[in-house]
Amino acid sequence: MPLRAATLRELDSRIATPAYDRTGISTGIVHFGVGGFHRAHQAMYLDRLLSAGDAREWGICGVGVLPADQRMRDALRAQDDLYTLSVLAPDGSWTTRVIGSIVEYLYAPDDPEAVLAKLADPATRIVSLTVTEGGYHFSATTGAFDPDDPAIQADLAPNAVPATIFGLITEGLARRRARGIAPFTVLSCDNIEGNGHVARTTFGTFARLRNPDLGEWVAQEVCFPNSMVDRITPVTPPSAAAEVERRYGVLDRWPVVTEPFTQWVLEDSFTLGRPDYGAVGVQLVADVAPYELMKLRLLNASHQALAYFGYLSGYRLVHDAAQDPAFRRFLLRYMDIEATPTLLPVPGVDLDQYKQTLIERFANPAIGDTVARLCAESSDRIPKWVLPVIRHRLADDGEITCAAAIVASWARYAEGIDEQGQPIDIVDRLHARLTPLARRQREDRTAFLSDRSVFGDLIDEPRFVRAYVAALDSLYANGAHATVAKLAG
């Protein structure tokens, strides 16, 4: 049975389907970066609200800007913007529902003006983003926006037809300003510390470069709330569509599979209102920072701790590495001794329980998350999730052995050859620059650290360099798994 609006009533009764009439839902949210995570998280929460009979003016219009987004355009259009979301429990059971909160999808290269019209529409009150850590074009060492990317420069040219998220969103805001329409809220849902502050800095800088008066208006009038989002959602494996068809007899061109756990902590600061997210489990708070630091420095950084050591140890699936006793001890040692002292008090959270829950989530065999996914785009992730822990602990004379070893494991992985002499397919925007440095480190142990755009002044910190070199020496002499076992204590 193909998944479409017309076939919903004919689907297997074990699949929950939208009990609400989708035809009357209007768009209130424009979302850039419709991938698996957005569909498992923000779109899911809105679907819950719609199912409760609320939020009918808050439907989602998805927007794609990259060539890879054409596939999402085609999949959603063929299915009336519907898709299945399957929650996979550790015991192997599936709970599946059809999500109906995305009501339209626009691919910007097809028709940029259609996207701009949607952004300028008074009905659009929130523009949200899941564009990855690298999508904001800012330096993790300085925090400054980098306008030198050719695509950014093209969007800053006079009378340019915007093609990037910065060009499109800023032009949408400019049109609203010219027409006397209040600005929408820009809501970042990416794994960046202070993601709202980063969005304010980067979009504000772009707007000022385009027009100083516009930049001042954006700074004064646009809300950029911070948020913390959490739900492990792997890249949809090729087997997922076949499994949905086998279990339920449904043809879904791009299903989503995810874990049972989900969390969204959101700063309650919106220009033109918001859906009643609190009614469906979203934590609305005045200060997201404590929750954000907890997630980035425990979950995200622990993923990095597992990723490179895991790959070099021969693991290809996250749960296999997370079930290894040495890796479990190593992750807990990093979290307990090095990361936890850098956190703020987290209201309502038992940190010891949270850390144990993280290990259990990583070890869920039903998810089938890949180590390669965790290893991707390291130059965006390590500086935002691991290096802040190192800098914090250097400042307070704290322990950095495990965190320094995580960086060393990345450096060894970045050589592009595993411990069996097989090539590693490195996915990283700085691959061409960093791999040659990594390959020099067998003779010059600190060569990888010499890229100050990534590491800042850490190469000048003797205590960090000693711990880093010791870990790198162990990786060469003893291998990844033995190094993890020693670090685990």
pLDDT given for residue 301 in this prediction:
98
Question: Does 278 share its domain with 406?
Answer: no
Q: How far is CA 49 from CA 52, 53, 55, 267, 278, in A?
A: 5, 7, 6, 19, 10
DSSP string, 153-170: HHHHSTT----SHHHHHH
Helices (H), ranges, 323-377? 325-333, 351-362, 371-375
pLDDT given for residue 268 in this prediction:
97
Question: Does 323 share its domain with 370?
Answer: yes
pLDDT given for residue 139 in this prediction:
84
Range of the structural domain that residue 442 is part of: 289-488
Question: Does 281 share its domain with 315?
Answer: no
**Helix count (H) and strand count (E) of the chain?**
22, 11
Question: Does 483 share its domain with 345?
Answer: yes
Which of residues 285, 306, 323 is at a domain's end?
A: 285
Question: Does 216 share its domain with 315?
Answer: no
Question: Does 309 share its domain with 265?
Answer: no
Q: What is the mean pLDDT of residues 69-83?
A: 98
Percentage of residues of the chain with pLDDT beyond 90: 97
Q: How far is CA 52 from CA 6, 19, 26, 45, 276, in A?
A: 22, 9, 16, 11, 11
Give me the phi and psi of 16, to 5 degrees please: -70, 135
Tokens of 430: 């700085």
Question: Does 270 share its domain with 315?
Answer: no
Q: What is the mean pLDDT of residues 169-185?
A: 98
Which of residues 257, 285, 313 is at a domain's end?
A: 285
Given pLDDT bands bounded at 50, 70 and 90, which one contains residue 142? confident
Tokens of 253: 């061109």
Whether 375 shows a pLDDT value over 80: the answer reads: yes
Question: Does 228 share its domain with 318?
Answer: no
Check: CB of residue 198 under 8 Å from CB of residue 384.
Answer: no
Q: What is the mean pLDDT of residues 132-141?
A: 87
pLDDT given for residue 422 in this prediction:
97
What's the CATH code of the domain at 294? 1.10.1040.10
Q: What is the mean pLDDT of residues 430-451?
A: 98
Check: CB of residue 206 under 8 Å from CB of residue 244.
Answer: no
Whether 143 shows a pLDDT value over 90: the answer reads: no
H-helix or E-strand spanning residue 384: helix 378-385
Edge-first strand order for the sheet with 102-107 is: 102-107, 59-64, 27-32, 126-129, 185-188
Query: In the chain, how many domains are there?
Result: 2
Task: Give the length of the chain.
Answer: 489
Question: Does 202 share its domain with 346?
Answer: no
pLDDT given for residue 80 in this prediction:
98
Q: What is the mean pLDDT of residues 314-337?
A: 98
Given pLDDT bands bounded at 50, 70 and 90, which one contains residue 330? very high
pLDDT given for residue 205 in this prediction:
97
Q: What is the mean pLDDT of residues 346-370?
A: 96
